[in-house]
Each structure stands twice: as C-alpha cells, then as structure tokens.
Chain A
Amino acid sequence: MKRISPAITQLIAVGCLWTFTLLTLSILLFIIAYILIQGLPWLSWEFLSQAPESMGRRGGIFPMIVGTFMVAGLAVLIAAPIGIATAVYLTEYTREGKFTFIVRFGADCLAGIPSIIYGLFGFVFFAIALGMGLSVISGALTLTLMILPTIVRTAEEAIRAVPPAYREASYGLGSTRWQMVTRVVLPLALPGICTGIVLSLGRSISETAAVMLTAGSALRMPHSLSDSTRTLALHFYILSREGLSMDKAYATASVLILLILALNLFAYWLMRQVTRRNG
C-alpha cells in the first residue's frame, strides 16, 4: 500500500478537526437560535411580571421566576459554605490518604448520579420523612445535595491552584494555618470558587426532575419556604407536555436560556480575572 505523505495526513486531520468543531458549534447555535426565534416574539414585560392564568395558557411567569430564584438561590446559599469548608479541610487541614480519597471518590460518584434519583431521595427524605412536603425548602435541600460535589471539587481546584510559595511566606511570617487560609489562600482562590458557585446556580436553575418531585408544581406565588412552587424549567416541561401553550413554553425556555447564558458569561468573566492575576 502506498504511504500517504505526512503533509496530506496533516491536511486531512486539520480538516476533520475543523469540521467536527464546527459541527459542535452549529448544533449549539441551532438549538439556541431555534428556541429564541420561537420564544422571543412572545416575550414581553407583561409576560415577565404577571401571574399565569388558566394553567399557564395566558398571563405570565412571574411566580415561576420568583420560585426558581428561591429554590436555586437557597440551594446555593446552603451548599456554598458547606462545600467551601469541605474543600478547605481536604486541601489544607488533612493529608492525602484513604479518607480524602473516599471523600473525593464519593463526590465524583455523587456528581454522576441522575437528577431524578436526587428527586426521588428528596421526596422520600425531605418531603415525606422530615415532613417538609412539596415545598421550596424541600426542593432547595435536594438541589443542595446535587450541587455540593461540584462546589467541593471546583473549590478544591481553585485552592490547589494557589502557589505554595504564598503558604510558605505566610507560615514564615508566623501566621497560623487559619490566618493563612483566610488571609492568603481564600482571597486568591475566590474567583475560582465563585465560578463553581455560579455554574452550580445555573445547574440548579435549569434542573427539572429533582424539583418536580420535591418543590412540586404549584402555580401560585410562593410566600414562604414551606409553600410549593414551580420552577421555570418545570413550567416549560408542563406547558409543552400537557399541550397547554407552545408559545408560552418557548417564551419560558427563552427566559431560561438567556438566564443561563448570562450566568455562564459571568462565570467566564470571573475565570478571566483568575488567569489574569496569576499570569
């Protein structure tokens, strides 16, 4: 068989890589564009600020926006301190060994569990066993469990990226470990930690299965943590699945996509701050 010249192999390789990259990009753009084209025309201030009528066939999505932020925000508020504390303990306060391996392995496994399983667990544990019912707090606690592994691992990475020379300098000047962590390590790791938190917030906002079984699907405005609520993603699912209104469904999806897009851009911006400072 005749050998193909390296120059031609190189050309073919570049061609293939370029094509697949373009394919990935166009799929992504297609989905976003499709939903925005379908949804944007129905988007209006009234849609964003009014309550739904007739199961969501008419009116807006204001209670869902509030509900989404309550559930996702509360989840992040609970998960962030626990996650950061765990990451600090794993990186600064303990030596690598069986225990850290188990915690890390466990976190990685938890991160891979399908969200419907979290939903089922949250339903059985928080809603039924602890008697919280279908509520904002049940949903938030379930999401907390779901995003905790991500927050721990991203915070760990961010803390590990702080150069050891700063730790030595701090010890050399007679600081305690806690002073070193709070005054040197955490401020430097903060942008990276925040990136993980923002991405987790995005994941909480877009979650459907886990909140369906725990926060419920009430259409009314949630007034307390024990009220049931319906998040945007779930609202979209119900509108389209029950065939209530495809226009409203796409408009809801557009809001979700724009929200996630904004959050991811923010996360990227934070990431850039880290690289700029370390660079």
Chain B
Amino acid sequence: MDAKIETKNLNLYYGDYHSLKGVNIAIPPRSITAIIGPSGCGKSTLLRCFNRMNELIPGVIIEGEILLDGENIHQQGTDLIRLRRRVGMVFQRPNPFPLSIADNITYGLRVHGTPPGQKHSDIVENSLRATLLWEEVKDKLHSPALALSPEQQQRLCISRVLAIEPEILLMDEPCSALDPIATDHIEDLMRDLSESYTIIIVTHNMQQASRVSSWSAFMLMGELIEFGPTVRIFNNPRDKRTEAYISGRYG
C-alpha cells in the first residue's frame, strides 16, 4: 500500500536542541495512525511537520523530506496555503473563533475565496452533519460558538477543518480537554471519519491509542522507536523500550 504521507530521514532542530532524529515513517491512507510516547519525545513536533506549522516558531531548522502523495512538501514553490488545506489540523484545546457557529465553519471557505451563498450553507450543514453536531445546533447557527460545551466546540473545530475538504486530519491530543464521555464520542467520530480521511493522532493516552488506531508509532527522545499495526505494537512489541513504555514502566 502506498503511503499517504511519509518522512525520509527527517531531522528537526529548535536552535541547538535536536528534537527529531532521523525519523522515517510512512502513514497509510484512510486509517488512523496514533503517535505515542512520553512528554517531550517529539510527537507533537512530528505532527506539526506534516502541515509545516513548526515554521511559525523562530529558529527551527528542518532537514530531510516529507512526501505527500509522493511530492516533497518542502520543495521550492510549494503552496503553503494549499498544503494546509489538504492537511487540516485539530488542536489540543478546542479553539473555535469567537464568531457564530456558521461563521466558524465558513472561515476556511472565506479565506480561500469561495463566494458566499447556497454553497456555503450546504457546506455548513454537511460539515456539521459529519461530526454529528447538526441536530444539536441547526437552530442556532448564528449564535456564538463559545457558548457551546467543550465537546461541541471540539466537534465544531473538526467540522471547521472538514469544510475545507482536507485529505489528512492531524489531531494533537484532541480529547485532552474533554471528559471521558465526550472523549468516547470523539473517538467514535474519528472511526467514522477514517473511512474517508487519513487521520494522524498524537495522544498521551495509551488506551485511546489502542482503542482507536490501526497503526501505532512509538517515539522516544526524538527518535521513532517502532511503527506497526496497533495490535502488534501493543501485544508483541519488538523493542524493549516500547515494551517498557506500554507496560507502564516509564513515561
């Protein structure tokens, strides 16, 4: 199976700090890949390489290749706006804009110049349906998004990304600000979405990784230690360090 997005000998430095060390990973399409590892292992940094969000931080140096459908996203002339449209991101804390629900969904469309009109309202409805939020908010599309519950806000943030029709969804600990029931709901949603999107999730929660993902990558101190089917990683890890982390001996 061809990888949707893959890294080749990816190195990343924050100034003098070597944050990602020669990472090679090939993410399969239309599935959920979990990146696990202790705090500071570089898993969020790796995630943010895929839509080039690390470049907002001063002093970052990136070496190596990242291929999206076989094309290097670092090569000259890469359209950063188009890249971020194809590789959408959901953040740790729900961060809807302090706008109405509908305006949050159409934000991406508006910055990309899709003219408003019937198309916008269709996209609003479809994106909200995709995250099962439609029934709850269809009568208050023009009320403030910040009045929603944290779970609804996170669903809205996912809808907001879906509205720009990405191919890959990057999720950076999307449930860490949610309670267990809301977490359960978001995980169900991720399973549904993985039929049409390539999802990469960073999580601290190993149960979550084993519940939701089909592929798992274990990282430690900037290195990718092991990558494989989640069932195998969790039941039969090949590396001692993976085994130690999964059995809860550190991290």
Q: Which residues of A contact B (CB under 8 A)?
A: 95, 163, 165-166, 168-176, 179, 183-184, 188, 277
Contact B91 A165 (CB under 8 A): yes
Please name all residues of chain B whose beta carbon is closer than 8 Å to the beta carbon of A166 when the two chains form the complex. Answer: 95, 97-98
Question: Given A165-B91, A166-B95, are A171 and B111 also a contact pair (CB < 8 Å)?
Answer: no
Q: Which residues of B contact A (CB under 8 A)?
A: 51, 53, 56, 58, 80-85, 88-89, 91, 93, 95-98, 107-108, 110-112, 157, 160-161, 164
Min CB distance A6 to B, Å, is: 41
Contact A174 B84 (CB under 8 A): yes
Contact for B97 among A95, A171, A176, A184, CB less than 8 A: A184
Which of B51, B85, B97, B110 counts the most A-chain CB atoms under 10 A from its CB?
A: B97
A174 to B107, CA, bound (A): 10
Contact A173 B98 (CB under 8 A): no
Question: Given A174-B111, A174-B164, A176-B111, are A169 and B91 also a contact pair (CB < 8 Å)?
Answer: yes
Question: Given A165-B91, A166-B95, A188-B98, are A173 and B164 also a contact pair (CB < 8 Å)?
Answer: yes
Contact A173 B111 (CB under 8 A): yes
Q: List 25 A-B contacts (CB under 8 A).
A: A95-B58, A165-B91, A165-B93, A166-B95, A166-B97, A166-B98, A168-B53, A169-B96, A171-B84, A172-B53, A172-B89, A172-B161, A173-B84, A173-B88, A173-B108, A173-B160, A173-B161, A173-B164, A174-B81, A174-B82, A175-B108, A175-B111, A183-B107, A183-B111, A277-B98
Please name all residues of chain B whose beta carbon is closer than 8 Å to the beta carbon of A175 when the two chains form the complex. Answer: 81, 107-108, 111
Min CB distance A213 to B, Å, is: 45
Contact B107 A173 (CB under 8 A): yes
Question: Given A174-B85, A176-B81, A188-B98, are A169 and B157 also a contact pair (CB < 8 Å)?
Answer: yes
The 5 nearest A-B residue pairs measured at CB: A174-B84, A165-B95, A172-B89, A175-B111, A173-B108
A266 to B9, CA, bound (A): 58
Please name all residues of chain A whose beta carbon is closer than 8 Å to the beta carbon of B53 when the two chains form the complex. Answer: 168, 171-172
The total number of A-B Cβ pairs within 8 Å is 64
SS class, residues of chain A in contact with chain B: helix
Min CB distance A178 to B, Å, is: 10
Min CB distance B78 to A, Å, is: 13
Please name all residues of chain B whose beta carbon is closer than 8 Å to the beta carbon of A95 when the two chains form the complex. Answer: 58
Contact A179 B58 (CB under 8 A): no
Please name all residues of chain A whose beta carbon is closer than 8 Å to the beta carbon of B164 when the two chains form the complex. Answer: 173-174
Which of A165, A169, A172 counts the most B-chain CB atoms under 10 A from its CB?
A: A172
Contact A174 B91 (CB under 8 A): no
A171 to B80, CA, bound (A): 10
Contact A174 B93 (CB under 8 A): no
Which of B81, B96, B111, B157 counts the most A-chain CB atoms under 10 A from its CB?
A: B111
Contact A172 B81 (CB under 8 A): no
Min CB distance B133 to A, Å, is: 17
Min CB distance B241 to A, Å, is: 31
Which residue from chain B places its CB closest to the CB of A174 in the assembled complex? B84
Beyond contacts A165-B95, A172-B89, A183-B111: 6 other A-B pairs, Cβ-Cβ < 8 A, are: A169-B95, A170-B111, A173-B108, A173-B160, A174-B164, A175-B107
Contact A172 B91 (CB under 8 A): yes
A170 to B89, CA, bound (A): 10
Question: Given A95-B58, A179-B111, A183-B111, are A172 and B97 also a contact pair (CB < 8 Å)?
Answer: no
A173 to B80, CA, bound (A): 11
A184 to B96, CA, bound (A): 11
Please name all residues of chain A whose beta carbon is closer than 8 Å to the beta carbon of B85 when the two chains form the complex. Answer: 173-174
Min CB distance A22 to B, Å, is: 39
Min CB distance B84 to A, Å, is: 4
Which residue from chain A places its CB closest to the CB of B83 in the assembled complex? A174
